[in-house]
Amino acid sequence: MLQNRRIVWPAYLVAFSLSIIPPIDAVMQTMPIRFGETRWRWGVFGLLSNAMMIPMIGLLIAFVVATVFEHRVFQRVLGALSTAFAVGTLAGLCMFALDSLQLHRDVKPAMALAFNVACTTGGLKAVVGILTLAGFAWASLGGPKLKAQPAKSAVIIGGSRKPVGASPAPAAARPAADAN
């Protein structure tokens, strides 16, 4: 496959932008930070779970580019980041579930359906995100290790094989041609 290496840095830039900008926008909408308020935590997780889908596309682009251009170290870094974000999202989902149970008693009957839909969609999006991140982590960290490629060889006129790019043997190591 012919690879145009000039596409690497723009592709990584697009991947980085898609992965970073939506979550930052979501967090900026929730300022100031109030970890002590249940409603604030519940709302932030809901916003972040909505903003999670576009960063997954950015992460996919980064993984595809790293795979196509064989950037093995960067694949491992992406796998470690995916693992950390999956664990963080799982912890956030647990907190979201607990906050939802606490807030459920304060919801007015007229708003119960909207609250339940928000809880369900936020939770499902988080589960899809966790599964996607776990898949990325498994693909880059737990996938099969690559084996070293065997040296290519070329047939030379005498019928023997010689590795491509190998230098000829020194005169002392060559067999005597015809000693008549």
Q: What is the pLDDT of residues 1-28, one digit of tens each?
A: 556 788 899 999 999 999 999 999 988 9
Residue 62 near residue 78, CB atoms below 8 Å: yes
Distance, in Å, from the CA atom of 87 to the CA atom of 81, rounded to the nearest integer, reads: 10
> Tokens 């606490």 map to which residue?
102
Share of the chain above pLDDT 90, in %: 54
Q: How many residues does the chain have?
A: 180
Whether the full predicted model's pTM is greater than 0.75, yes or no, is: no
Distance, in Å, from the CA atom of 45 to the CA atom of 23, rounded to the nearest integer, reads: 11
What's the pLDDT score for residue 95? 95
Closest to 16 (Cα-Cα) out of 54, 43, 73? 54
Six token digits for residue 34: 């109030």
- Lowest pLDDT segment from 46-60, 88-102, 151-165: 151-165
Query: Tens of pLDDT along 22-78?
Result: 999 988 998 898 888 999 999 999 899 988 989 999 999 999 999 888 898 999 999
